[in-house]
Structure 1
């Protein structure tokens, strides 16, 4: 089975062998080799044959395969410890931390038999705002901790200044919350929109959640929130910065590291991402590709005259996901970026 980037493929029509082949391609050579070592010889031949048939795998199909794999891995946690943790780690290696968190948040299982959250997860940020606008920051932070980063960032953007900083601070300091408390809060919120709660999900608060959230909002808002947090809680602000980095921070990587990053980047994404980049970053990234590739990017950029900001930021996020994937695989050391993250709020 093969596909190109424009062909829509229904994953339900694929065999298990085909799905596994696609998953192993996404996980990379090292992880694929570990999986194949545990298969029978006939199975190895069947899977590798399917892997060889693949060309370009549509993003939609990748997402379906990832979610199906995650559900299977998590269900295994009922008899094998670490199902969620295993799925999280494997996904981070395949698609980066940001997308891994998004997938896990959609398919993570209940921690208790009483359902609680799905109805709210399906709402759009503005609908969520109407529900929580009169709530305390702690309640809003609890809700945000369950949202995918892109939806949580959408809600954060809509909150009034001052409340945003309080929510991020509460999110970063949010510990494990008893499921009974979560269900009681969610039930109250659901009543406002006649939404019936349908399931509980795993708690995801903490500094990392706050960092993921700020990575997903626009740069100006991130600067504003971190600046205000510097005044109210400087230690927490510093901890959040250490867990996040931005597209502009890539200029701090050495040439060898940037070359590793660029090998994973689609040239159209690179052209899009550089539309709002600083000259320093443009020079750094283009110096990490061949002269011909750099010329192609410059030519592509000249045609991108009217591009939506969300498309540019989407391209930048995809590149950052590739960076996080390389970091998770041990191919990149981003400690220097974390150490200089204070530049975000400069």
Structure 2
């Protein structure tokens, strides 16, 4: 009888606590535990008890709870940038790629202030299929409007012959006027229904193109830059200047930096640190032994003034090694895809 009662639960009979319990069951043990840590003992007891009562609910009821939850989430104006990517990642982690995509197909926003915001909810392969037959300028607008890591994934999937031209067009984008967005919306409307309020938007530019390139592998990056250099050497150099640089190392985890520094010649590191700010210098020196750190500091002091170009070259050598190791999966660099090592 008790099992039968459980199976009869649906979205109309569930309490708010039971709906929260269903969400907790989907989050997985680690995420659910983190949520419980922020609750009071009474709330934990109430939610824990509810989790036992919803074990027999149907898939349809679970989907309805998810629909209701994300519908409410979309109405929150203070969720912030990146909410779409967060929702997509949470669902994928909880349900798996196939089930997550099924849920996302039902909860994606029907309208948006950006003409192609719905693309933020889509899988990169689906986006690439959507734009593969469009003009390169349309491809560039679409990719430039995405989250940088997602844009890089779409770029990777597109044919190699298209990639340099798309990066070139993204780098040359500045303020996109309403008529351009209107044209883009018309293209997208052939693929899915969209209603938007058009306005001038700042997307693209060299920095955007460089950040997208940061998420690509080094061999792909070098091939694209080489192709761009044929027509616009200045643009190629500008892209390089805005890509992953020495100062970005401060965002990486210590374990990866420790692995990286073991592969760097000490003379190169000493020269590279001459141009680093105190915070980055302290972080990198904290990733080597105390004896090595003391030796490096003494060498830096004895070295005296050095040419800026020499410092920059040393920093480029460090970054070159770092990126090769990141591409090989040996380390993880913050800003180059955020891959999880296993």
TM-score range, shorter chain: 0.3 to 0.5
Report 1 or 2 for greater relative contact order, CA contacts < 8 Å, sequence distance ≥ 6.
1
TM-score (norm 2): 0.47
Normalized against structure 1, the TM-score is what?
Answer: 0.47
